[in-house]
Structure formats: structure tokens, C-alpha cells
Structure 1
Amino acid sequence: MIRIVLTDIEGTTSSISFVHDVLFPYAAEHLPGFIRAHHEDTPAVAEQLDAVAQASGIDRQDIEALIDILAVWIREDRKETSLKALQGMVWEQGYQQGELKGHIYPDAADYLKRWHDRGLRLFVYSSGSVKAQKLIFGFTSAGDFTPFFSGYFDTRIGGKKDENAYRNILAELGVDAATVLFLSDVEAELEAAEAAGLKTAWLVREGELPETGRFVARDFTEVDTLLQKR
């Protein structure tokens, strides 16, 4: 019986266009100034810049070169934990200043609340940092959804296409794999989750439905039919 819903964000609860057309450009525009302003007096920023320097081989003291490589990583949608953490800090400012509002599909907003009220435990697993996850759900155009979630996972638990990441999540939650339903719009992520024993639902919100043996849903309303059966 499904007791936990583990959900992706981009393409699942929220539109891909919001992430790529709003969040990424916002970070690209504001990250350089944010780093220049905080690289000396903010330990959390300094810690992430240390990680950027280590991953890139760039001199830690060359702030402009670090800013340049971060801009490249943003364009590449690089899954670097340090980049995601710095983006999260910039987005936090944007959300708090009212310049950003997180997108959430109406059906996702509806059923996240319903599932929570029904007693299901809800968790997020995204390549975006935990901070970014909390921001997108905490400042949505439909209100604050963070009270409905029991926890968050990012790439520190492992890559989303890596079977071991899902085993790590199971170990963290202390539950049997068969009690967890993972929602994503990326088939490779679903395959990794299934290899770890999780149940899955493939969100295909647009375009033709794939020919597959796994459960496919257009929206959370259809996902709920699967939950009702189990």
C-alpha cells in the first residue's frame, strides 16, 4: 500500500518553462552581483565558492572567473550542488522581495493538499537545492505549500538517474520501497527508482503518450486513481 509520495518538481508539479524561462534567467542576471556583494562576508556563499573552485580548477581568489564558470554552468543546466545552492540564495532574495512567484499546476496544488489531508506523507526529490525547493513551494502563486511536505531531497542524496540515490532515500525514510510512489516526467529517473523497488508514475503533461508498460498520467488527478487502487 502506498503511504509516501515522492515527487519531482520540474515538469511534474511545476512547468518546465517556469524553471528555464524565469528562474534560470533570474539567477543568471542576479548571481554575479550577489557573489560580488557577499563572497567575503557571508560564510554560506564562501563555502559554495570553495566547492565551485574545487570542481572547476579555478583559483578560489579569482572571483570573476568563478562567476564566469557559474554562468556557463547555468547555461548548461549543470547539476552541480554548489551552483544549485548559490542559485537558491539568489532566488530566496527574489521571492522575499516579491519579484518571483513559484509556479504550481492547479491539479498538483489540489492533490498535494488532498493527499496530505488523507494521511499520505509527501516528499520532494529534485536536482534543485533543498532551499530552492522550499522557496518554489513556499512562495507559489497559489500560496504556501511547505506545510504539506514532510521533507526534501536534492543531489546530495545522489543523482536522480542513479538507483543508489533512491536506496539512500529509502534508508533515510526507513520504509519499504513498495510503500513509496515516485512521480517524475523523466523516464530515466523512473527506471532508477524502479530498480530500487519504488512504485512510479510517469507524468506526461503534453504531447503524445508513450507506449510503455509503466503507469502514465497526464496530471495528478490521474495519479490519484492509482493511489485509490492501492
Structure 2
Amino acid sequence: MNRDKFTVDWVVLDIEGTIMPTSGVHVVLYDYARPRLGPWIDANPDDPVVAAAVAEVRADAGLPESASTADVVAVLHGWMDADRKATPLKSLQGLIWQHGYAHGDLVSEYFPDVVPRLREWHAAGVPLAIFSSGSVAGQIASFSSTTEGDLTGLFRHHFDTVNAGPKREAASYAAIAEGLGGPAPDRILFFSDVPAELDAAAEAGWHTVGLARAGEPYADADFGSHTVVGSLAEVEVARA
């Protein structure tokens, strides 16, 4: 097999559609969180993360401070239906998913090529990081309970829309580079299935690889000048 080759200081990966099937998020995880949002908010009114998220939902949706949990949940469900990457929604989902993984209700499953490749790169000394719209807490929880065991040790850093910024803005990738210790932008390789995210990373000076996986939403997308592969097995990465 001919492989695209990169020599870099860091590999940063998206999750949904890149290393995990979209259905694993939109069906399994969303369906788990949806009925639990209201009960979770009511059961944890003094949790600062929950309180901040609820306040942000009310403010964003123009609801009064007296708006009920049901009103807040209706907004959250609407955002889920629209697949809106709203920070308060991601924060609440992350807490619920964290609980689900910890109690064995949820187990992550990745594309078959993913875990062997990540373990290979990790063993070769290539530092790995994640950039996903899902919260950092949710990311770590998902990697802690998988069909391949606990994978949290593979990753050195996790980034989301809170500690980095929107995934389709170049400034977010500059912020991540700083969080990684300030490597030269062209020493970072980013994997995603979304062309707009790859465009933003490339604008920040990163190397990019698009994942066009059969059956996924962006399988037939126009990836422009980005390197495009069907699996991680098609890419060879070495530490600079």
C-alpha cells in the first residue's frame, strides 16, 4: 500500500467521522444524553458547570432567568436536532456521558483502522492530541471505556471549543499550537472529515489530511487541495 508520509512534532485528530463513526455520536451518545438533560440539571443545581451552562442557554435563547428546566431542555433539544456545536450543550452532554462511561452504560467503538494506527504512532514517540467539539471531559470519558480498553494514555492533550475555539476558525488552531508548546505550525498534522476544519487548520499553517470514509456524511465532499485518504492506515507518520 502506498502511504502518504509526514514528519511532524504533533498529530491532532478530530473524533466524529474521523476516528469514530458519526452514528456513534449522533445516535448512541445523543440518544443517551437527550432524556437525561432535564433530570441532570435538576439533580445538580449547585454544580458550577451545570449552573453556568443553564445560565448561558437562557441568555443565548433569550429566556428569562426564571425559565424552567423544561424551557431550557427544549432549547437544548433544538440545538441537538440542528447539530449546533453550542458550548453549554456540549458541557452538559459531557457530564452525562462521563457518568455513562463510568457506570458501564456507554462503550466507545472506533473505526477498525484507528486504534492499531494510534498505538503504532504512540509507540514510535509521535505525540497525539484531540480537537473535538465535544467537551474535554466527554472526550476523556469516551477514551476511558472502549472496545479496545482504556485509551486515555495515548493522548497528551485534549482541546474543545472552550479551550481552543470554533473548529472552523484559524485562530483556534493557533491557540492549540500554543497549547502544544509552540511548535512551528508546519510541524503539526491535523486529521478531520470536515473540509472547512481542514481549511482553517491549513490557514494556520498546519499539514492536513481529510478522511473520506465510506458511508460518512463527508465521504463525497470536495476536499480541495488537502490530502485525502479512506483510513489512517494510508498515512505514515514519523516524529520530527
TM-score > 0.5 by shorter chain: yes
The one of 86, 99, 119 equivalent to 1:93 is 99
Distance 2:193 2:221 in 1: 12
Structure 1: distance between partners of 2:36 and 2:203 = 40
1:50 is aligned with what amino acid? Answer: A
Structure number with the higher helix fraction is 1
Which SS does the other structure have where 1:77 is aligned?
A: coil
1:213 maps to 225
Task: Kindly report which structure 2 residues correspond to 1:1-230, keeping only aligned pairs within 5 A, or say none.
Answer: 1-39=7-45, 41-62=46-67, 63-156=69-162, 157-173=164-180, 174-206=182-214, 207=219, 212-224=224-236, 227=237
CA distance in 1, matches of 2:66, 2:198: 41
Identity of aligned pairs, percent?
37
Give the paired residue count. 227
Relative contact order, CA 8 A, sep 6+: which one is greater? 2
- 1:208 is displaced (CA, Å) by 5.3
- TM superposition score normalised by structure 1: 0.93
Quick check: 1:102–1:139 contact (8 Å CA) kept in 2? Answer: yes
Cα deviation, 1:60-79, whole Å, max 9, x if unaligned, reads 33222112111111111111
Does the 8 Å CA contact 1:60/1:66 hold for their aligned counterparts? no
Structure 1 residues not aligned, in runs of 5+:
none
RMSD between aligned residues: 1.8
Which 5+ residue runs of structure 2 have no aligned equivalent?
A: 1-6
**Structure 1 counterpart of 2:58, which letter?**
A
Q: Distance in 2 between matches of 1:171 and 1:122?
A: 15
Shift of 1:29: 1.6
CA distance in structure 2 between the aligned counterparts of 1:160 and 1:215, rounded to whole angstroms: 19
TM-score (norm 2): 0.89
